[in-house]
Structure 1
Amino acid sequence: MLWLFSCGEKIEKIYPKKMAMTESVYASVTVQPDSLYQAYASVSGILHRNLVEEGDLVPKGFPLVQIVNTAPELNAENARLNFQLAEENYQGSSGVLKALEDEIKSAKLSLENDSVNYFRQKRLWEQQIGSKAQYENRKLAYELSQNNFRLTINRYQRTKNELTTQWQQARNNYITAQSNTQDFTIESNINGKVYALFKEPGEIVNTMEPIATVGSSDTFIIEMLVDEVDIVKLSRGQKVLVILDSYKNEVFEANVYKIYPKKDQRSQTFKVEASFIDPPAVLYPGLAGEGNIIIAQKNEVLTIPKSYLNKGNQVQTEDGPVTLKIGLQSLELIEILEGIDENTAILKPIE
């Protein structure tokens, strides 16, 4: 550093320096287990008991909690009885269709008998044998038998369709009721660890509140919140330098692997996820820290401190203000592309 004296005041000046420079995007960091999810009950009831404890490792399909509720069991029994009745009406020997089949047989026999009598009487009448009244009575009886036979068949088809629908509906209701009785035991969806249990035995369980939190036991992800101004600079595969509050003296490397496209309107940030290259030995959900996502790196670039840059990308030199063309920016430094060189003295702005 060199010092100049002007009107009795010290004016600080520096010369630009060449050095390696990194431009990065800052992000707040939270560590979470991979595949973390909250388990919900699909039925309401009373928590009978927790089948696991917080911190337990569980395989996929392992029961977590057991719920008590007699209503679904009663519903399942009622559904079974309705299904049994519908099946008996549809397929049973004493069912409704069996009675209609007997009616069809009777109507068919009547039609055949009235048909024989009508055509016999018709031939006699054509030979001028018998009376016209006898002929018309036989004809009317035959037509009524035809109509009755047709109506009986239609009624059979309509009833069969209704019974088929009722049987299918009762069967579906019975299957649904059976599945509801199986929902009393909530199982894990993944191979992982139980991180939280939210209910104690005897408490009411509903479908709106979570019962447990389960996630990966050995794979953790880094959740980062990035300002909307910086999100366009990010892409998958970029390196991230992470400092956790629990490991203040260590820097961990990670890689960006997912960028969520939807902005959080409350915080005006985007969510970005990264994975550790070499994670710490011990991690817990919710560990916080800071991250710097590296978007560019250069060696031997001309730099000056940000504090020496004025508005309009100008710096104050001994010969007056100069407008610069700048490149990379870090928290403290700015890359100079055009305007000055290593031999140009830069004066620090007077506050």
Structure 2
Amino acid sequence: MKTNKIIVGLFYLPMFGLLSCNPQEETTPQYKTIQQAIFASGHMEQEDEYIISATADGTIREFSIREGDYISKGQLLVRIDSDVSNTQLQEARVVYNDAKQNSSANAPQLEQIKSQIDQSKTQLNLDKINYQRYADLRKKNSVSQLEYEKAELQYKASQSSLQVLEKSYKQAQDALQLNADRSLQQVKTQQAILNDYSIQADKDGIVLEVLKKKGELVRKGEVIAKIGSGKNILKLFIAEDDIAKLSIGQEAIVQMNNYPDTTFTASITKILPAFDEAAQSFTVEAAFVNPPQLLLSGTQLQANIKQQGTKKVLVIPSAAVIRGKYVELKNGEEKEIKIGQKSGNWVEVKQGLTEKDIILLPKGKSKEEGVAKPGGE
């Protein structure tokens, strides 16, 4: 009987249209037998999406990318003002060049010690000759024991003096080299800091979103742009009580917001094992069998993942749904509902309505509108 009432109401609509400029068609929820399917909402994204962030504080001096641009690995994307860092690098290089010069073999400090070593070697050679002469004379008893020992002590003192100078040279050389190495490390550090002011692409890809512009002040860590690369994938969010019903290779009928009147066939390629706390659902990935011509990362979509068998569910015309989750009742009140799978121009109502409710379709809409045509075949 309820169905008859709807038909009668529809029968008189043309007559009512003579009296009203923009009549709103009335309908009531009804039960229909539809192919069983798991409903999932989701979006398009690329296989590998990443963000580029400011690696230093400063003002963006160069900004060479726009949304939709294709970029290559190593390409300069953003350069942040680096005058201070440039100055610090130049100062570090000056210090390093001085340290490097001072650690060379002809450095003044080392040259001075080398001169002392040469003098010490000359003195040692003289003292050695004198000691050997006194040793020979002592054997002949031509000099006293005291004179011999005095020559011996002088020779040993010269040996010790040379050793001290050679050790001093080595220590000075090591210290100067260490200073040069530290100065070089400081140059490398300043160069690395300067490199942070130039942001390059990690890999080939496309610019999905630009969040900053030339001349804008950025802080370290702030997101500048979003880059995508790799294949386009469908990311679908599945309710906790439905995830066990899915398997790799299952077919999904997809309707995208930028192709509202067309459906596309996709196949599940991956079922992620972890529960997504942020989305409060499980996540699966799918790929189009024959993708639409235009694929845009971030496009919102809905999918019905086919299951075996049929079921009887409460449905309303999909044209009656406002802003994705509301319907307008006959008394003018907007009521929030929970929708399930879609079947043609009908959508399942999981919660919020009964058969007794009378709802209004938006002005200019009819139950026959919104039938999605298959595409991508």
Above 0.5 in TM-score? yes
Cα distance change on mapping 1:141 and 1:260 into 2, 3 Å: farther
Contact 1:51 1:66 in 2 (8 A): no
Q: CA deviation at 1:138?
A: 2.0
Aligned to 1:338: none
Q: Paired residue for 2:162, among 133, 145, 149?
A: 149
Aligned to 2:208: 195
Aligned to 1:131: 144
Q: CA deviation at 1:113?
A: 2.1
Aligned to 2:133: 120
Q: CA deviation at 1:205?
A: 2.0
Matched, 1:61 2:74: yes
AA of the residue aligned to 1:279: P
Work out the CA distance in 1 between the residues paired with 2:146 and 2:311: 125
Contact 1:190 1:215 in 2 (8 A): no
Provide Cα deviations, 1:176-207, integer angstroms capped at 9, x if missing partner. Answer: 43344344332333333322222233322232
Matched, 1:104 2:101: no
Matched, 1:250 2:262: yes
Provide Cα deviations, 1:121-144, integer angstroms capped at 9, x if missing partner. Answer: 233233333233322322222222
AA of the residue aligned to 2:153: L
Aligned to 1:265: 277
Q: CA deviation at 1:259?
A: 4.1
Q: Paired residue for 1:279, among 283, 291, 295?
A: 291
Cα distance change on mapping 1:124 and 1:192 into 2, 3 Å: same
Q: Paired residue for 1:221, among 229, 233, 236?
A: 233
Q: Percent identity?
A: 28
Q: Paired residue for 1:83, among 61, 73, 96?
A: 96
Contact 2:63 2:77 in 1 (8 A): yes
Contact 1:88 1:95 in 2 (8 A): no
Work out the CA distance in 1 between the residues paired with 2:234 and 2:117: 75
TM-score, normalization: structure 2?
A: 0.64
AA of the residue aligned to 2:42: V
Contact 1:225 1:269 in 2 (8 A): yes
After alignment, is 33-42 or 67-76 more displaced?
Answer: 33-42
After alignment, is 218-227 or 68-77 more displaced?
Answer: 218-227
Q: Paired residue for 1:209, among 195, 218, 222?
A: 222
Work out the CA distance in 2 between the residues paired with 1:208 and 1:202: 17
Provide Cα deviations, 1:226-246, integer angstroms capped at 9, x if missing partner. Answer: 345555565554444323233
Indicate the SS of the match to 1:220: strand
Work out the CA distance in 1 between the residues paired with 2:118 and 2:245: 83
Q: CA deviation at 1:95?
A: 4.4
Aligned to 1:44: 57
Work out the CA distance in 2 between the residues paired with 1:235 and 1:113: 96
AA of the residue aligned to 2:79: Q
Cα distance change on mapping 1:178 and 1:261 into 2, 3 Å: same
List gaps (5 residues or longer) in structure 2.
1-32, 315-339, 343-377
Indicate the SS of the match to 1:110: helix
AA of the residue aligned to 1:255: S
4+ long deviations beyond 6 Å: 19-22
TM-score, normalization: structure 1?
A: 0.68
Work out the CA distance in 1 between the residues paired with 2:160 and 2:305: 86
Matched, 1:178 2:191: yes
Work out the CA distance in 2 between the residues paired with 1:233 and 1:139: 101
Work out the CA distance in 2 between the residues paired with 1:331 and 1:54: 34
Aligned to 1:4: none
Cα distance change on mapping 1:222 and 1:331 into 2, 3 Å: closer
Contact 1:121 1:135 in 2 (8 A): yes
Aligned to 1:289: 301
Cα distance change on mapping 1:94 and 1:158 into 2, 3 Å: closer
Contact 1:32 1:286 in 2 (8 A): yes
Work out the CA distance in 1 between the residues paired with 2:270 and 2:228: 19
For these two proteins, the number of residue pairs brought into alignment is 285
List gaps (5 residues or longer) in structure 1.
1-18, 308-329, 333-351
Work out the CA distance in 2 between the residues paired with 1:72 and 1:25: 57
Contact 2:304 2:341 in 1 (8 A): no
Provide Cα deviations, 1:294-321, integer angstroms capped at 9, x if missing partner. Answer: 5x75xxx7x77699xxxxxxxxxxxxxx
Aligned to 1:346: none
The alignment's C-alpha RMSD in Å is: 3.4
Cα distance change on mapping 1:133 and 1:267 into 2, 3 Å: same
Q: CA deviation at 1:87?
A: 1.4
